[in-house]
């Protein structure tokens, strides 16, 4: 087979246009570039969602969010799907995962199939010369890339004589932006404004309460870039340990992100609430033996991170689970000439973020056009007969099933807690609605890459065609899975500190 081992690296909130292998010319990301030179780089990769647990559920199961049922932070992944970890473990691999933030902790069911799932944050504080720039104790919420890297190196050395699969989740380019000083440009260090990269400042700007000059926005960008440089440094250390232990000939690396990040585009800093290009476009590099037989190393056609799971399963010659939605993009490329290169006609993405906010949006994007709209509400049959049947079922379950009674009480309490947070961010929702000035948006991506002119009403034929295609896609692919929901006040507090609630 050749590619015995796999290291899957997920960089939270990383934009591809801040990597030199994607054309960034202000600084070099030498180590990430090295991965691209030894594999395939995908220039038009997109995410299925802008919410990390939703994306991770797709990466682990190979199905869309509306199929696996995880839509935002309050869900626990259903055990009705076989996970990537379980598949590797079943095939006698050592499986490990090292997580950078509590948003992927094992309470959400993500640890299934992993022999080692390190999601301990309490003992990991702020590293090196970083400043504490948040109002909360973030050391219990996330940890820096240096910690992830040190743990990864130890795990690789321990398991180097076995077949292994290791998943790494880095948090360094997620808010708050606080890179080590050595990765911050001299000009940025001489900045004398108010910006320190905190969640609070980004949220105040997003609400419209904080006016920022161009130099202030640039400082956010500079701090973000510093985080990217730190990630590149971490990747270099991981590559070194692979080379020094003679693992490079049989270890493949997948490098990607869960979503991008808005850095002032559309008057927004962060991610989650919009589906513009800066947030849904992601880097994707497949390096090493997995991509060895693919001639075309720079791929321009549309791909999704929903394609990663089936590509891994096929390349490692494992049995494919049912209901997988993506395509084995490497085999398609291997069989195509450069001129015929095409993997899919469109990509789908969504944000249901967070619960109870009105800002729920979905995307249908082709090479030329991009439709953004609210999801359709599912119309239920509310006849007297059906209501009576549902009421009977509810009473029976409530009377017979103690767990169901506890679930209902928990759900009521969860809803109460989350609703209390809603008023805090209504200003952000109002600002976003005012900016787009429409429930539906249509952009010509080729002519208007910045998505500045909404053509939905002007190009009505195209709008209607894309609407029909999107509805057909959703109708064909949709089936209910019923991921469980679970949220407590401690989780709400942590999400709030990171700008999610």
pLDDT of residue 492: 53
More confident residue, 402 or 127: 402
pLDDT of residue 475: 81
Give the fold, CATH level 3, of 5-348. Answer: Alkaline Phosphatase, subunit A (3.40.720)
Band of the pLDDT at 352, cuts 50, 70, 90? Answer: confident
Report the mean per-residue pLDDT for the chain: 83
> Treating both helix axes as pointing N-terminal to C-terminal, what angle do 30-37 and 214-244 enclose, rounded to 10 degrees?
60
pLDDT of residue 374: 86
Residues of the chain with CATH 3.30.1120: 350-378+423-497
* Domain 350-378+423-497, second-level architecture: 2-Layer Sandwich (3.30)
pLDDT of residue 159: 97
Mean pLDDT of 186-202: 85
pLDDT at 95 over 70: yes
Residues of the chain with CATH 3.40.720.10: 5-348
Mean pLDDT of 465-483: 77
How far apart are the C-alpha atoms of 328 and 315, rounded to whole Å? Answer: 8
CB contact set of 273 (below 8 Å; sequence gap of 6+): 50, 206, 351, 353, 357, 359, 428, 429, 432
More confident residue, 385 or 328: 328
Mean pLDDT of 80-93: 95
How far apart are the C-alpha atoms of 458 and 73, rounded to whole Å? Answer: 37
Band of the pLDDT at 375, cuts 50, 70, 90? Answer: confident
pLDDT of residue 418: 55
Strand partners, 46: 281, 304
How many C-beta atoms surround the C-beta of residue 131 within 10 A?
12
Q: Nearest CA to 370 among 265, 444, 299, 435?
A: 444
Band of the pLDDT at 486, cuts 50, 70, 90? Answer: low
More confident residue, 5 or 103: 5
Say whether 412 sits in a helix, a strand or coil.
helix
Q: Report CA-CA distances (Å) from 180 to 200, 230, 260.
A: 20, 7, 21
pLDDT of residue 126: 46
More confident residue, 93 or 336: 93
Mean pLDDT of 430-458: 87
pLDDT per residue as tens digits for the range 266-291: 889 988 878 999 999 999 999 999 98
How many Å separate Cα 68 from the centre of its chain? 15
How many C-beta atoms surround the C-beta of residue 444 within 10 A?
15
> Treating both helix axes as pointing N-terminal to C-terminal, what angle do 426-436 and 199-207 enclose, rounded to 10 degrees?
50
Say whether 57 sits in a helix, a strand or coil.
helix
More confident residue, 183 or 125: 183
pLDDT of residue 29: 97
How far apart are the C-alpha atoms of 350 and 71, rounded to whole Å? Answer: 9
More confident residue, 23 or 105: 23
Mean pLDDT of 248-265: 96
How far apart are the C-alpha atoms of 25 and 422, rounded to whole Å? Answer: 41
């Amino acid at each position: 087979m050749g590619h015995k081992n796999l290291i899957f690296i997920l960089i939270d909130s990383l934009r591809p246009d801040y990597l030199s292998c994607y054309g960034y010319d202000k600084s070099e990301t030498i180590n990430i570039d090295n991965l691209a030179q030894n594999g395939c780089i995908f220039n038009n990769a997109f995410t299925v969602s802008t919410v990390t647990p939703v994306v991770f559920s797709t990466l682990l199961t190979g199905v869309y969010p509306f199929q696996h049922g995880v839509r935002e932070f309050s869900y626990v992944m259903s055990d009705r799907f076989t996970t990537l970890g379980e598949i590797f473990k079943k095939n006698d691999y050592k499986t490990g995962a090292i997580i950078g933030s509590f948003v992927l902790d094992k309470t959400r069911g993500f640890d299934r199939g992993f022999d080692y799932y390190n999601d301990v944050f309490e003992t990991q504080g702020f590293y090196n010369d970083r400043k504490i720039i948040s109002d909360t104790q973030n050391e219990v919420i996330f940890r820096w890339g240096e910690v992830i890297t040190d743990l990864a190196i130890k795990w690789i050395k321990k398991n180097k004589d076995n077949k292994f699969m290791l998943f790494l989740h880095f948090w360094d380019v997620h808010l708050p932006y606080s890179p080590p000083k050595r990765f911050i440009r001299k000009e940025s260090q001489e900045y004398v404004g108010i910006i320190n990269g905190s969640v609070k400042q980004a949220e105040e700007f997003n609400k419209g309460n904080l006016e920022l000059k161009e130099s202030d926005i640039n400082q956010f960008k500079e701090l973000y870039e510093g985080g990217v440089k730190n990630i590149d440094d971490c990747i270099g250390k991981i590559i070194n340990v692979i080379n020094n232990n003679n693992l490079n000939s049989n270890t493949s690396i997948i490098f990607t992100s869960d979503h991008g990040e808005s850095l002032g585009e559309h008057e927004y800093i962060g991610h989650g609430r919009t589906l513009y290009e800066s947030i849904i476009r992601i880097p994707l590099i497949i390096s090493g033996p997995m991509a060895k037989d693919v001639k075309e190393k720079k791929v321009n056609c549309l791909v999704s991170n929903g394609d990663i799971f089936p590509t891994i399963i096929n390349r490692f010659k494992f049995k494919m689970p049912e209901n997988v939605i993506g395509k084995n993009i490497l085999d398609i490329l291997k069989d195509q000439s450069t001129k015929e290169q095409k993997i899919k006609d469109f990509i789908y993405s969504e944000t249901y973020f967070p619960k109870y906010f009105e800002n729920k949006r979905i995307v249908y994007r082709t090479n030329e056009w991009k439709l953004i709209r609210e999801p359709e509400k599912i119309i239920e049959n509310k006849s007297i007969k059906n209501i009576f049947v549902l009421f009977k079922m509810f009473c029976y379950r409530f009377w017979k099933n103690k767990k169901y009674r506890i679930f209902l009480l928990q759900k009521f309490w969860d809803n109460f807690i989350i609703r209390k947070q809603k008023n805090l961010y209504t200003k952000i929702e109002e600002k976003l609605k005012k900016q787009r000035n429409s429930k539906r948006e249509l952009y010509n991506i080729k002519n208007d890459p910045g998505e500045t002119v909404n053509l939905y009403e002007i190009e009505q034929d195209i709008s209607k065609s894309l609407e029909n295609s999107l509805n057909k896609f959703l109708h064909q692919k949709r089936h209910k899975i019923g991921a469980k929901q679970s949220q407590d006040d401690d989780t709400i507090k942590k999400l709030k500190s990171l700008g999610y609630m």
